[in-house]
Each structure stands twice: as C-alpha cells, then as structure tokens.
Amino acid sequence: AQSVTQPDIHITVSEGASLELRCNYSYGATPYLFWYVQSPGQGLQLLLKYFSGDTLVQGIKGFEAEFKRSQSSFNLRKPSVHWSDAAEYFCAVETRDDKIIFGKGTRLHILP
Amino acid sequence: GAGVSQSPRYKVAKRGQDVALRCDPISGHVSLFWYQQALGQGPEFLTYFQNEAQLDKSGLPSDRFFAERPEGSVSTLKIQRTQQEDSAVYLCASSPLGRTDTQYFGPGTRLTVL
C-alpha cells in the first residue's frame, strides 16, 4: 500500500540556521510528490511538487526538495530559516488512482 | 482574486445532530476535493468532484457522510447523526482541471462533536 512517512513529529531550529525535513514514501512506480505548509488557522499551501525530470525541485519561499529514488525519499530543505517559517509541513504522494496521501506532518519551531 | 472559502469556520454539534459544511471553490475551478484532518494527523481524502459529478467517494468513512455539488460550483459536505469521532477539521480544495493540477486549499471548518 502507498504510504508517506515523516519520521520527525517536531523539529526545532534557530533562526538563520539551515533546515531539512525528512520524507519517505512507499510506492511502486515513479510517484508524484508534494510538500505543503500549514500555518495556524490557514489552509494548506503548496510549496513545491515533483512530477518528473530534474530531481532537485525549487519551490516558493526559498524551499527546495530532492527526489532520491534509491532512498525513496523527498526531503525538504531551506538554507536559512526565518521566524515566519514556523508552521506544520506535510509531505504527500499522489497514487495511481489520483488520490493524494499525506504524511502525518512535521511541526517546525524556530528559536529566535 | 478570492481563494477557496469555507463556512462556518467553527462548528460545535451535539452528538446525533446533522451538520452541513459549505465550500466555495475558486471561480472556474473544475475539480473539488474534501479532506478530513484529525488532530495531529495529515489530511485524509474523502471525496472528489469534477464539475457536478462525484467521481470518487471512496474516502467517505460511513454512509452518514454525504457530499454534493449540484451546479458544479459550491459544494456541501453533510454529516448525519454526528459522532464524537467525526470531530476534525474538514478541508476543501479546488483545482483548475484534473487531479494532478495544483490543489488550492481553504482554511477548513473545525467540527467539534460533544
């Protein structure tokens, strides 16, 4: 069965530090992969998506993610976080029957 | 332009009551999706419309859940005889065309069943 695992429930980094949020998926074919961000009281916002081609994907707000087929991973990175990046981040995969399966999320805390 | 809007933003219901949650998608968007997000979890797919046709309702947890989009625009998710386990945030999303298009999410309706 298709699944998405985000192993870190909470991550805390200092403002200005680099960030990497981990995501592993289980899927039999080349997946469509997504990262969404959810701020308190806000809807989910798409940060970036991977369908095919270049495995390093650039997104909004300075985020990027790298698709690694050999590791079944799609980790999200940002070189320098800002206090406004504090939010919950969801990795997601689109399945063969066009459903989107979300991970359980990683809550990012930023230290001043 | 306006994004996806949902109403009410918060709903408290007594167990056994019926509730109706409304979603106004982005104008012109063909596809509309409903998700359920329990506390501490990621969103889980409930159902999908393309225009007025409900093409997939495999995620609806029971026959107490019913969704409609009669004119291919506004959608309503109805939950009959609410139970405590129905407490969650219900998210609506729309996309311009098919399911592989970017989905734009509304702020959600937080349903609490007492």
Q: What average pLDDT does range B2-9 have in this prediction?
A: 93
Q: Which residues, numbered 90 to 109 in chain B, qualify as contacts with chain A under a Cβ-Cβ cut-off of 8 Å?
A: 91, 93, 98-100, 102-108
Contact B91, B22 (CB under 8 A): no
Average pLDDT of chain B, as a whole number: 93
B11 or B98, which is more confident? B11
Query: Which one-letter DSSP state was computed for residue A43?
Result: -
**B105-to-B37, B40, B43 alpha-carbon distances in Å:** 13, 18, 11
Q: What average pLDDT does range B104-113 have in this prediction?
A: 94
pLDDT of residue A87: 96
Query: Which one-letter DSSP state was computed for residue B31?
Result: E
CATH number of A3-111: 2.60.40.10
Which pairing describes strands A32-38 and A87-94: parallel, antiparallel, or unpaired? Answer: antiparallel
Instruction: State the CB neighbour count (10 A cutoff) for residue B66.
Output: 16
pLDDT of residue B98: 66
Structural domains in chain B, CATH included, are: 5-113 (2.60.40.10)
Helix, strand, or coil here: A68? strand
CA distance B42 to chain A (A): 4
pLDDT of residue B26: 95
Share of chain B above pLDDT 70, in %: 96
Of A50, A5, A3, A52, the residue nearest A27 (C-alpha): A3
